[in-house]
Amino acid sequence: MSNHHCPFICLIVAGAFLFCSAAMAQSNDNSPVAVELLIRADQPGATIRPELYGQFAEHLGRCIYEGVWVGTDSTIPNTRGIRSDVVAALKKIHVPVVRWPGGCFADEYHWRDGIGPREKRPKRINTHWGMVIEDNSFGTHEFLDFCEQIGCEPYISANVGSGTPQEMMDWIEYMTSDSQSTLADERRANGREKPWKIKYLGVGNESWGCGGNMRPEFYSDEYRRFATFVKNYPGNRIEKIACGSNGEDFNWTDVVMDRVGARNMTGISLHYYTLPTGNWDHKGKATGFPQSEWDSTISRTLHLQALLDKHLAIMANRDPQHRVRLVVDEWGTWYDQEEGSHPGFLYQQNSIRDAVAAGINLNIINNHADGIMMANIAQMVNVLQAMILTEKEKMVLTPTYHVFDLYQVHQGAALLPSEVTAGKESVYVSASKDKEGAIHVSLVNARADRAAKVTAKLSGPVVKSVSGHIITAEKLDAHNTFDQPDAVKPMPFDGAEVKGDQLTATLPAKSVVVLELK
């Protein structure tokens, strides 16, 4: 379901299970878990910004090259070298923002390499991702053309690690100035008369690691120096985003919030990945995994809740007026790369487990809508928890893509208070009301072994009928392939009914369900 403006009440049911080792012990009890919810549909709150459903595209593996860019001479249908099928798929889920060019790649990227005639662009070594040659055929003009084709805002990551404030300042002028300056005229000579609008700029990426191995005190000074030279040319206003923490590095958040100051940034980032094993050397397989790794994947996904709460509390202590918002600009599942794929390309299959993890993450992010300004799943095509996989002219939509399709009804809607009043170890919920008065509720049944019987009480509107869609599968690792592209996809769902202010729905194990209540 991809309609933004349904003239009735929509309920998205997706639910999450709080996995602990004791609860995960195999049981002979296969009866549905009983869950009770309260959804206060008459108390709309913070807006769930569309940017919470953002994407991330790095020059990594086959994300850009083959995934987005095939070149103007390709036999694969394209518009100015950009894949038409990928653009159509991303437009369908209303992608609001795309972060580019990285990632670790960003702090070795020099924007001048990617402008002008492609045959004259320098060839560099991508030292982070596979030591392959980067021919720079996809640069500033191509990326911003891509953003215009899918109808999204660009989120540019500036090079702080190996770049200079001058280089960044020139790039901003090149992209956004409508003056008669040399840089603006150079842009015109390269084929773009009107300046672009650049809304979001990341000042460095993972500066605590691949972006420079900085300490938070040093990064704070570097941020202040670089941010001084972020200029707003007429018709364009840039929102500056500081490099934030790696997971549980709460000290980084505290130091940067203190030393940079709320007046000098709009957002601060957070990166958190779900690894089944928690071991970066042996993360676990994307398919062919045991149920124990399903359970640990869900547990580690749910940890995002505690991370957001703690980082937002630190931010509020330094910024009581909440002028700075959190940007979760890298999140998702991360497994060992597929056997036989290029080392360093981070290509992994995407299964029903990823759909469930995506539903949980998006519910958690929705419920923090008052403190989060953007979130970007990693990554868009052919890398990590991708929306889309491609192989030459073939394209397949992943289970994660289908979750984003179902959840897009939350974009721009008002968050509704929701609470699990019974069966708290089984369900997470997020709910919203859009501008037309339609209500959307998301729950995820992440149990691999048991269904969930959900009873939801709605305070507010009267509902008379219910219909819906479901994403589910029998196997733990059910996934879509180029030979079987529709193995996991939304299907009609009739397992719910409504009476008065009460909705009941039985959710199969490992399922994401979308209900529409009229």
Q: For 350-391, write each residue's pLDDT tens digit.
A: 999 999 999 999 999 999 999 999 999 999 999 999 999 999
Instruction: Provide the angle, in degrees to the nearest 10, between the axes of the packed helices 250-260 and 291-318.
Output: 30
CATH number of the domain residue 231 falls in: 3.20.20.80
pLDDT at 283: 97
pLDDT at 429: 85
Residue 60 maps to a domain: yes
Instruction: Over range 120-132, report the average pLDDT.
Output: 96
User: Facing residues of 491 across strands?
Assistant: 470
Residues 444 and 368 in one domain: no
Residue 448 maps to a domain: yes
Is 206 tagged catalytic?
yes
Residue 444 maps to a domain: yes
Residues 315 and 374 in one domain: yes
b/e per residue, 359-396, with b = 16+ CB within 10 A? bbbbbbbbbbbebbbbbbbbbbbbbbbbbbbbeeeebb
Residues 400 and 439 in one domain: no
pLDDT at 421: 86
Residue 421 maps to a domain: no
Residues 92 and 159 in one domain: yes
Q: Are 51 and 96 in contact (CB under 8 A)?
A: yes
Residues 357 and 226 in one domain: yes
Q: How far apart are CA 110 and CA 219, in angstroms?
A: 20
The residue out of 415, 448, 474 marking a domain boundary is 415
Residues 411 and 442 in one domain: no
Residue 329 maps to a domain: yes
Residues 211 and 63 in one domain: yes
Residue 407 maps to a domain: yes
Residues 99 and 210 in one domain: yes
The residue out of 381, 415, 449 marking a domain boundary is 415
Q: For 329-340, write each residue's pLDDT tens digit.
A: 999 999 999 999
Annotated active-site residue in 51, 66, 293, 330: 330
Amino acid at the residue 6: C
Q: How far apart are CA 418 and CA 424, in angstroms?
A: 12
Nearest to 445 by CA among 47, 123, 18: 18
CATH number of the domain residue 507 falls in: 2.60.40.1180
Residue 428 pLDDT grade (very low, low, confident, very high; cuts 50, 70, 90): confident
Whether residue 426 has pLDDT greater than 80: no
Residues 251 and 359 in one domain: yes
The residue out of 415, 438, 463 marking a domain boundary is 415
Q: How far apart are CA 31 and CA 289, in angstroms?
A: 25
Residues 306 and 439 in one domain: no
Q: How far apart are CA 9 and CA 496, in angstroms?
A: 14
When divided into structural domains, the chain yields a total of: 2
For the chain, give the number of residues: 518
Q: Are 304 and 272 in contact (CB under 8 A)?
A: yes
Query: Residue 215 sits in which domain range?
Result: 50-415
Nearest to 244 by CA among 354, 376, 130, 363: 376
Instruction: Over range 473-502, report the average pLDDT.
Output: 94
Q: For 134-187, write each residue's pLDDT tens digit.
A: 999 999 999 999 999 999 999 999 999 999 999 999 999 999 999 999 999 999
The pair of three-digit structure tokens given for residue 220, joined into one six-digit string:
């704070």
pLDDT at 28: 56
Q: How far apart are CA 271 and CA 123, in angstroms?
A: 30
Rg of the chain's alpha carbons, rounded to an integer? Answer: 23
Whether residue 62 has pLDDT greater than 60: yes
Whether residue 109 has pLDDT greater than 90: yes
Whether residue 204 has pLDDT greater than 70: yes
Nearest to 332 by CA among 248, 247, 374, 274: 274
Q: For 430-474, write each residue's pLDDT tens digit.
A: 999 999 888 888 889 999 999 999 999 999 877 787 788 899 999
Residue 57 maps to a domain: yes
Q: For 8-60, write each residue's pLDDT tens digit.
A: 444 444 443 345 443 444 445 689 999 999 989 889 999 999 999 999 999 99
Residues 243 and 182 in one domain: yes
Instruction: Over range 85-102, report the average pLDDT.
Output: 98
Amino acid at the residue 224: R
State yes or no: cis peptide before 180, omega within 30 of 0. Answer: no
pLDDT at 7: 35
For residue 218, the SS3 value is: helix
pLDDT at 422: 85
Annotated active-site residue in 142, 153, 206, 222: 206
Q: How far apart are CA 66 and CA 78, in angstroms?
A: 11
Whether residue 200 has pLDDT greater than 80: yes
Residues 277 and 408 in one domain: yes
Whether residue 1 has pLDDT greater than 80: no
Residue 3 maps to a domain: no
For residue 170, the SS3 value is: helix
Return the percentage of the chain with pLDDT > 70, whole number. Answer: 94
Place of tokens 């759909």: 355
Q: How far apart are CA 477 and CA 354, in angstroms?
A: 9
